[in-house]
Structure 1
Amino acid sequence: MAGESRSADKTTNALPDTNERDRFSPARRLSPAGFLPDLKIHPVEDERSNDSRLAYSEPSATSKQWRLNFSTRSALNSIAQAARLELDRGVAFLLMPVFIGAGIVWYFSLTEEPGFLQPTACVLALGLAVIAARGRPRLKLALIAALLCAFGVLAAKFETWRVETLMVGSGISTHVTGRVVALDHMASGRVRLTLDVTGTARPRLYYQPERVRLSARRISSEIGAGSLVSGYARLLPPTGPVRPGGYDYSFQSYFDGIGGSGFFMTDPKPVATAHMPITAQMSAAIENARNAIAARIRRSIGGPEGEIAAALIVGVRAGIPEEINEAMRRTGIYHIISISGLHMALVAGTIMLLLRGAFALFPDFVSRYPVKKYAAFAALATTGAYLIISGMVVAAERSFIMLAVMLVAILFDRAALTVRNLSISALIVMLWSPHEVAGPSFQMSFAATAALVGGYATWADYRAGKTGEGRHAGRPLLFAAPRWMLVVLAGTCATTLIAGSATTLYAAWHFQRVSPLSLIANLAVMPVVSVVVMPFAVLSAIAMPFGADGPFLYVMGKGLSAMIAIAAWLSKHSPIDTIGLVSPQSVLLATIALVIVTMATTRLRWAMLPFAAAALLTVFWVRTPDLLVSENGKLLAMPIGGGELSVNRPRPNGFTLDNWRRAFNAETVIKPEAAHLLGVRLDVGVAASLLPGTSFLCANDFNGLCVARHPSGAIVAWAANAKDAKPACAYASIIVIEDATAQDPCRDKLVMVITARQLARFGSAAVYFDRFAADERPTIRYAVETRYRPWHEHRQFSREARGLAPYRRTHTKQQKKD
């Protein structure tokens, strides 16, 4: 029999003893050791018998090296296979905005303005190279990446040329006539007007800015958007960064088209209105409608809640009290005030929920027609109207583009929340407004959105591979409700953690502050905003044309009261939120890590770990200045240890000082002391006897000479003019003179002298002392490069930059009467 013959032959063909379960298990991968050479096998004689046995010798050095090479080659092959899989899944398209954005950032970081020839030639040459490299895919990908970077440079250059904002070069008083473009009532009671300038007089400005922003104590009730007004005003040029490496306000003003700012010295008066173009009439009508809606909201709700409601519905937020703004900044919920992706998503979600709920009442209609597309189209139209009525600020425009791409994807039966849609949105924003890439709003917005979309994709993949998803189906509502609430709470926590983690480093880099209680504040506030405030804001907007918005605004106001109370309480108990300067290298590394983890779908995601670790390790790899000087030469600030910051003015500029305090991570500001009150005279002996870390000591009621000593031992002096500065040449390491006409009064080359003329030309200054030799010449870094970019060219025309004294105008009786 077959069985007998098989057993009879078991001495030669018997199978080895194995577990039956192993026969059905997957085949094991062969070990590389099975292919190794030099594995010598030879018989070994046993002294006790004549049998031969097989013995294995130790692998040779060549074998060990071959094993290492094989392991390395296998790892590289695995990485190459994953990269090919990523390319097959379309990662090349997802990286397009990354390379274009890199080119844009590189353009704005240049020290001098390039012409059109260089980027255009690069784009053409790289385009031809891409065509020529058709048969070499790796080279072609590298050339495409370079081409996208060059295209980003060209796009940014084109926008800079297209804007070409004329800016006021120096502070001047003139009679301004202009048409009101926007009008904001501020919390201080003043009114801020944005004017399209139609003319100037007494003196007439040769380089007249096209648009200015002026504040007034009060205005006539007849003045509104589209009105032509006239008044005597003080025009000031846009300011530069308050410190080197800080936010450049002249950069933003240039691309916003604002050529100057200031204030009316007399109340502006309406004048006869001339004919306006149709586009100007439409803009004025929208602006007047916004102001009318804001006034209606304020009357209905009242108080700061009414101001916040007006900000959320029509984007008018100038009237929010500063203490509430600061409370929301400290608690990390200030993003709620600015109309952005959160508000657009809540408005669109509310419309889609209402419409789909209404469609559900008609099952026959739902079964025949794509009601989801109808709801998406209605949400798209509603958010477009919301964008228009909110003033079309940049953040709202960017958020609308992102949401519009997702809603259009629904209309074409595509997934809405995908990294591809995010990349399309980023491409549109970058090409429409390239300068936004360099700003904190764009960076934080897309970082948060990318992290949330990536997190959502990961969760969706996890849910798709999870079995037994229907085990909760059919449960009574009483049992399902607690689970649903836990899911919502977990989703809110995850959303806050992901978005907060993605944006924290950018916020710290731009603003030098991090909200320690941000997670708690957002968890407490977001349910109120998502369930009460924004849905009832949408309902009030729908009911407002019928005069039935009162109840909805009432509920919205109660939700805002709860939000304000939570923010105020948490702000009161929040620790210090300043962290000091953050290195740009850390932000760059974190951005690379975020791009990898968001766009990769294979094991290449783990490549983000070294970049993330390096970003965390290099956060504070930046040297803090030893002294900061304002661009007008009036204010100095110097850290003296123990979290204290010494200044030379008894009443310093609050905005500048707050920025510097955050940069220095200082808790206390030490104001100067008057020398005559201490019974001392600022001479060589007194200055030399100052201990390291001594705050400013001033003579002549703070208007003559001020002296302080840095903890390194270097002596800092400030003087109103060269005459007052002359005695400090004997002992000071650096002297700042608030006089544009002053020359260097010191013959000692080791004494660094900064005059108001240098500051007017190159902006605020950061001074670094030698930590080991206080008598060495300090290093100075200015905020503005010597070769001006277009948004800095106006600096060279100021009187101070030309070494002239401030203009003193003699008013005639007629001018005083006007």
Structure 2
Amino acid sequence: MELSPGQTGAAGRARAALGRVAGDVESLLEAEREQLPLWIPAALGAGIAAWFALPRAVEWAALILASAGISLAALAMGRGGRAARAAAIAAGCVALGAALIWARAERVAAPVLGRPMVATFTARVVDLDRLPARGAVRLVLAPERGEGGLPPRFRLSVDEENMADGVAPGARIRVRARLVPPPTAAVPGAYDFAPVAWFQRIGATGRALDPVVLEAPAVADWRTRLASWRIGLSRHIQAALPDAEGGIAAALATGDTGAIPEDDNEAMRRAGLAHLLSVSGLHLTAVVGATMVMALRLLALWPGLALRAPLVLIAAAAGALAGIAYTLMTGAEVPTVRSCVAALLVLLGIALGRDAMTLRLVAAGALVVMLLWPEAVIGPSFQLSFAAIIAIVALGDQPLVRARLAAREGEGRGRRIARALAGLLLTGLVVEAALAPIALYHFHRAGLYGALANIVAIPLTTFVVMPLEAGALLLDAIGLGGPLWWLAGQGLRLLLGLAHLVAAMPGASAMLPAMPGGAFALVVGGGLWLALWRTRLRRWGLAPLILGMAWAAVAPVPALLVTGDGRHMAMRTADGRVALLRARVGDYVQDMFGELAGTDETALAFETLPGALCNADLCAATIRRGGRNWRLLATRSAYPVAIGALVRACREADIVVSDRRLPRTCTPRWLKADRPFLARTGGLAIDLDRGLVRTVAERAGEHPWTATNPENEMTAARLPARPSAHQ
């Protein structure tokens, strides 16, 4: 068929327009060619995160095949252009990331306990973590062969008074305990321990019921000696500094945070200072940097050595050894290992004569972490640490910022100090802005004054407390560490006072109900776009960033939350507070419901709500949402209820919630969430305004930590249709 002249002209104009667009894209990417490699770990992380977000195996396979297909198509059709190569590499990294985490999940597969059980067993201690503030010890155990029905590795909490003396990693113990499968999220949006346990190969958790019996002490090898020395060092520090100051000092030296009281922990979180309590890049930087400076100063005392030897290389090697030793001393937890890997890459760059910190080095560190521990991508530790360093480095790369904050010749000391403080404040504000969405997504809370608090807290910890603590430990060898311990204690007391002062200020922290995953993805994508590009292309990152923030701000908050066991139900009131079905609940349950509802107000009792009628066994209430009245019915005791009265109450209710199996004759108008139903769905988040129900099972899908747990089937239950307005 021949085209008319008009059609030919239109097709030609379209081809010309596409050619101009392609040319503009090529020009932009040519200008950004130095930044393109930075997107390799971003694309790899996107593939890993997508595997966690997609619920079914067929979707994981489709993602991998589609991404690989796009990569091949871009290579085939791109004709050598930079845009085609970039698209091919990015799509290939997405496919690689999804395949990498899928393979990792299958490779770490280990048996998981099928159902709760009480057993007496003999096991070897794999790891030990003392929690003095909670009066408990947490053990990771590997049962002896012949202990039938137990997974090869599980976690056990033991009360301090039930702990035998001499128990250390490598010891063999005997104990009676109650074990349960690793718990999934209680309700949608809550913390989910099941995937964490899966990748750590922990097949059960539990609590000791009797005192622990030590059957054989640990065999002396370097691992047990290191673990025992770490425990002894933590106890020594806590003896030198009592109370919370000793707990924080022990955390800085050994990574042991168990001795920090919960109220001080909460104050540090609300003040935006919680990052100081976990060994991370900040602490490793202080140790490595101090070691390098000391090594350079000491080596420079020998002129002959200074003239003949590469002192910077030797100092970098000394810093690397100090970083590795500090990582081992603090327990070699995965977040610390990640920070150590990043620090070693920085030292390698210094040794090669490169800039001490660039976005390429940060990207290389992130790439190493993703290849070794791809599951870390969805964890807050990885996201917070890399978001902070990316924000700092990207800010320092800005010519305007460098020009404003650079020192001037002949400038007075006062101006230099003011310029340094301004730079520290600006850096703190940018870092807080980068970390706030991550904190809101994972913890539903973000500190508002963290940037100001960190201006004091970070220098105080890095340049005062940690050097004093290191000096005190060295002087303790000759019994002269007391004065330095006192000074370190004063510094830590000042840090705690600052945390409590900031935490008590009005509006110290912002709270947000569960952020939608799509909104979080837009914010992260927009933030990376702003940080990784250098030309005007970076401005396009504002659109997804603003859209994601707006989505998070207007996302509907579920009116009802029901835990997967059916025992606990929370309703969000019109003024944003939470009303609980059962008055006697633990702090964990109350805090969880408050965070998901976006409030830290004290929870109300369900019976205090207008229109609620409760007795010891049942609660009924009428609430108005979505332009209609909803009648709720919930059981709250284990005692039998007269079947006739229960059936009549069910027929009058729209929603019935129970932790027991309800009779078939209990037929509410819309939703019957009893024990069999919740065993299939897990916890529920019920949006009454739109008549929608979200379940834990939707997110868990076919991931391996769900499929291997028969106690929580987590299969897709048949949810009721959205109720009509006349119901």
Structure-to-structure mapping, 1:475-486, within 5 angstroms:
479-480=412-413, 482-486=414-418
What is the CA distance between 1:527 and its match in structure 2? Answer: 2.4
Matched, 1:488 2:420: yes
- Give the structure with higher Rg (CA): 1
- 453-462 vs 660-669, greater mean Cα deviation: 453-462
In structure 2, what is the equivalent of residue 762 of structure 1? Answer: 681
Equivalent residue in structure 1 for 2:651, among 717, 730, 751:
730
Query: Which residue of the partner structure matches residue 591 of structure 1?
Result: 524
Residues 557 and 257 (structure 1), Cα distance of their counterparts in 2 relative to 1, 3 Å cut: farther
2:231 is aligned to: 291
Within 1, Cα distance between the matches of 2:184 and 2:109? Answer: 17
Equivalent pair of 1:181/1:225 in contact (CA under 8 Å): yes
C-alpha separation in 2, matches of 1:122 and 1:465:
47
Q: What's the CA shift for 1:364? A: 5.2
Q: Give per-residue Cα distances to partners, 1:63-110, cap 9 Å, x unaligned.
A: xxxxxx9999989855542321212x2x23211101111110111112
Whether the aligned pair in 2 keeps the contact of 1:647 and 1:695 (CA below 8 Å) is no
Go from structure 1 to structure 2 and tell me whether the alpha carbon gap of 1:705 and 1:497 turns closer, same or farther (over 3 Å shift).
Answer: same
Equivalent AA in structure 1 for residue 703 of structure 2? R
- Work out whether residues 68 and 95 of structure 2, in 8 Å CA contact, stay in contact via their aligned partners in 1: no
Structure 2 regions of 5+ residues with no counterpart? 1-14, 716-727
Q: Which moved more, 1:131-140 or 1:704-713?
A: 131-140
Summarize the Cα distance change of 1:255–1:743 in structure 2 as closer, same or farther, 3 Å threshold.
farther
Match for residue 104 of structure 1 among 14, 26, 48: 48
User: Where do 1:47-86 residues align within 5 Å?
Assistant: 80-86=26-32
Alignment of structure 1 residues 314-353 onto 2, 5 Å? 314-353=254-293
Matches within 5 A, 1:459-538: 462-463=402-403, 471-472=409-410, 479-480=412-413, 482-538=414-470
8 Å CA contact retained: 1:155, 1:434: yes
Alpha-carbon shift at residue 430 of structure 1 (Å): 0.5
Instruction: Give matches, 1:604-615, under 5 Å.
Output: 604-615=537-548
User: Which one of the candidate residues 645, 651, 671 is aligned to 1:752?
Assistant: 671
Distance 1:332 1:574, change over 3 A: farther
How far apart, in 2, do the equivalents of 1:542 and 1:70 lie? 74
1:797 aligns with 2:711: yes
What is the DSSP-based 3-state SS (H/G/I as helix, E as strand, rest coil) of the residue aligned with 1:164? coil
Structure 1 residue 363, shift from structure 2 partner: 4.9
Residue in structure 2 matched with residue 690 of structure 1 by the alignment: none
* Cα distance in 1, alignment partners of residues 327 and 461 from structure 2: 19
Once the two structures are superposed, residues 203-242 of structure 1 have per-residue CA deviations (whole angstroms, 9 ceiling, x without a partner) of x643534232332342122222221111110112221113
**Among 162, 165, 169, which residue is 2:107 paired with?**
162
The Cα offsets for residues 422-448 of structure 1, whole Å up to 9 and x where unpaired, read as: 110010001111111111111121111
Alpha-carbon separation, structure 1, partners of 2:71 and 2:522: 29
Q: Tell whether the 8 Å contact from 2:515 to 2:552 is kept in structure 1 after alignment.
A: yes
Give the TM-score of the pair, scaled to structure 2.
Answer: 0.87
613, 627, 634: which one pairs with 1:697? 613
Determine what percentage of the aligned residue pairs are the same residue. Answer: 26
- State how far apart, in whole Å, the 1-side matches of 2:258 and 2:238 are: 13
Moved more, 611-620 or 246-255: 611-620
| CA RMSD of superposed structures (Å) | 3.3
> Is the contact made by 2:137 and 2:157 (CA closer than 8 Å) also made in structure 1?
yes
2:394 to 454, 471, 486: 454
Q: What CA distance in whole angstroms lies between the structure 1 residues aligned with 2:224 and 2:491?
A: 32
Equivalent in the alignment of 1:539: 471
Residue 590 of structure 2, aligned match among 638, 644, 657 = 657
Is residue 177–residue 209 contact of structure 2 (8 Å, CA) maintained in 1?
yes
SS in 2 for 1:623: coil
Distance, in Å, in 1 between the alignment partners of 2:17 and 2:107 is 56
Residue pairs, 1:177-196, within 5 angstroms:
177-188=122-133, 190-196=135-141
TM (normalized to structure 1)? Answer: 0.78
Is 1:211 the counterpart of 2:132? The answer is no
Q: Against the structure 1 CA distance between its residues 162 and 362, is the aligned structure 2 distance closer, same or farther, given a 3 Å change threshold?
A: same
Question: Distance between the aligned counterparts of 1:194 and 1:657, measured in 2?
Answer: 26
Q: Is the 8 A contact 2:657 2:674 kept in 1?
A: yes
The SS at the match of 1:416 is coil
User: Could you say which residue in structure 2 is the equivalent of 1:709?
Assistant: 622
CA distance in 1, matches of 2:90, 2:430: 29
Does the alignment pair 1:621 with 2:554?
yes
The 5-angstrom pairing of residues 10-29 of structure 1 reads: none
Instruction: Tell me the SS of whatever aligns to 2:120.
Output: strand
Match of 1:440 among 362, 380, 387: 380
- Mapped contact 1:764–1:782 kept (Cα < 8 A): yes
Partner of residue 177 from structure 2, selected from 226, 229, 233 = 233
Per-residue deviation, residues 552-603 of structure 1 (Å, max 9, x unmatched): 4332222111101111222222436423233333322222222222221222
- Answering whether residue 174 of structure 2 is matched by residue 254 of structure 1, we say no
- 2: CA distance, partners of 1:725 / 1:796: 30
Conservation of the 8 A alpha-carbon contact between 1:410 and 1:416: yes
Asked if the contact 2:651/2:667 (under 8 Å) is kept, the reply is no
Measure, in 2, the Cα distance between the counterparts of 1:541 and 1:154. Answer: 47
Task: Name the aligned partner's letter for residue 594 of structure 2.
Answer: R
AA in 1 matched with 2:694 = R
Q: Which runs of 5+ in 1 are unaligned?
A: 1-68, 675-692, 772-777, 802-818
Paired residues, number? 691
1:373 corresponds in structure 2 to 313
**Structure 2 partner of 1:409:** 349
The worse-fitting range, judged by mean Cα deviation, of 662-671 and 396-405 is 662-671
Q: Which moved more, 1:110-119 or 1:350-359?
A: 110-119
1:603 partnered with 2:536? yes
Q: Which residue pairs with 1:94 in the alignment? A: 38
2:495 corresponds in structure 1 to: 563
